[in-house]
Amino acid sequence: MAERLRKKLVLEDGSVFEGLVFGATEDKLSELVFNTSMVGYQEILSDPSYTDQAVVMTFPSIGNYGINDADFESRRPGMNAMIVRDYSESPNHCECTEPLEETMKRYNITGLMGIDTRALTRIIREKGSLKSLITDVDTPEQECMQRLKEFTYRRDAITRASRTKREICPAETTKYRVVAIDCGMKMNIVNCLNRLGVSVTVVPYNMSASDIVALHPDGIFVSNGPGDPTDARETIETIRELRGKYPIFGICLGHQIISLAYGAKTYKLKFGHRGGNHPVKNLETGKIEITSQNHSYAVDEESLKQTDLKATHMNLLDNTIEGVECEKDKVFGVQYHPESKPGPNDSRYLFDKFIKNMEDAKNA
């Protein structure tokens, strides 16, 4: 096997980590975040919510079961880079079709292995998500820091993550029809709806309210996606126009968009929530759900008091808002991912709640 290229990861605080490259070899400027999931690197790699980010995997061994054809969450992953402790070059699984490295090469995702990911994660936890640069080991320090200083996060991530054309995803037996606004949607959300008898028409993030009404849906879904929720101006306005007219369900970014449409505010978390093991309390039942999460922003709790929304779920790690609802409008959203993939299935009942809201609206 050919000798691997060495590169270094440079952070805006001046920290430097050297490692070996796997996947693509290009330099990358990214926002650096971490994910605590123990499995599911394929779904993480292909989750559009990671657009423009470099992801540190805290689980030490990545790549050991390879990549299969069934578990992609998007057709065109937008992740910039993946940072790991150990990369498995010889995957072993009955469904494996290729090594992780080959997929990363195809989608131009740079990998760096041999990194002390525990030390790297501690830096992120202490200082927050940081700008990062993957570059050649001999790139001068002054040049690295200048590139990081000049680097700014793009504000068009949703535009790039969303579909550009309408797409119909039919259920085997259709009971309800939902328009899903794609802000960077994971495919397993569509799968979960299809299994419940919901035919899904996926539309671009900027489709107007009038064009959605013309599709005669029973309900509206607002998807997850990357970036700052305030950048989704068209989607926020669409939900503002449609609220109270249809049952609406939002996940992650969709939850934030719903909150903004009702007049609440959002803010950026220090280092976000990413992983498949986050405890969330249902404030209505008192039950604890273990959830899958991937987001940088949260809804401001105080700002909800000036809206028709109430908080329904809370993160037990930092007491941030994890769910909101307007009962009279049959509108609700959650900050986490009930469709999981990867992650636990504790929250699948939320899809049933969406079905019930559409049933009640039809019978009203």
**CATH number of the domain residue 339 falls in:** 3.40.50.880
Q: What percent of the chain has pLDDT over 90?
A: 97
300 and 186 assigned to the same domain: yes
Query: Active-site residues: which are they?
Result: 252, 337, 339
Cα–Cα distance between 232 and 96 in angstroms, integer? Answer: 37
What's the whole-number average pLDDT of the chain?
97
Nearest-CA neighbor of 204 among 170, 250, 248, 160? Answer: 160
Q: Which helix (H) or strand (E) holds 121?
A: helix 117-127
Give residue 305's pLDDT: 95
Instruction: For residue 48, tell me if it sits in a domain.
Output: yes
Cα–Cα distance between 207 and 213 in angstroms, integer? Answer: 10
Give residue 87's pLDDT: 97
Instruction: For residue 1, tell me if it sits in a domain.
Output: no
Which of 109, 135, 150 is the C-terminal boundary of a domain?
150
Q: What is the pLDDT of residues 88-114, one digit of tens each?
A: 999 999 999 999 999 999 999 999 999
Instruction: For residue 146, tell me if it sits in a domain.
Output: yes
pLDDT at 1 over 70: no
> What are the phi and psi torsion angles at 298 (to 5°)?
-140, 160
Q: Which domain holds residue 58?
A: 6-150
Domains in the chain, number:
2
Cβ-based neighbours of 305, under 8 Å, separated by 6 or more: none
Which of 92, 120, 150 is the C-terminal boundary of a domain?
150
Give residue 364's pLDDT: 78
Distances (CA, A) of 273 to 98, 148, 165, 291, 316: 30, 24, 31, 10, 12
Q: What is the pLDDT of residues 155-194, one digit of tens each?
A: 999 999 999 999 999 999 999 999 999 999 999 999 999 9
- For residues 116-139, give the mean pLDDT: 98
- The 3-state DSSP class for residue 179 equals strand
Instruction: For residue 350, tell me if it sits in a domain.
Output: yes
71 and 195 assigned to the same domain: no
Q: What are the structure tokens assigned to 128, written together?
A: 């927050």
44 and 170 assigned to the same domain: no
Q: What is the pLDDT of residues 227-245, one digit of tens each?
A: 999 999 999 999 999 999 9
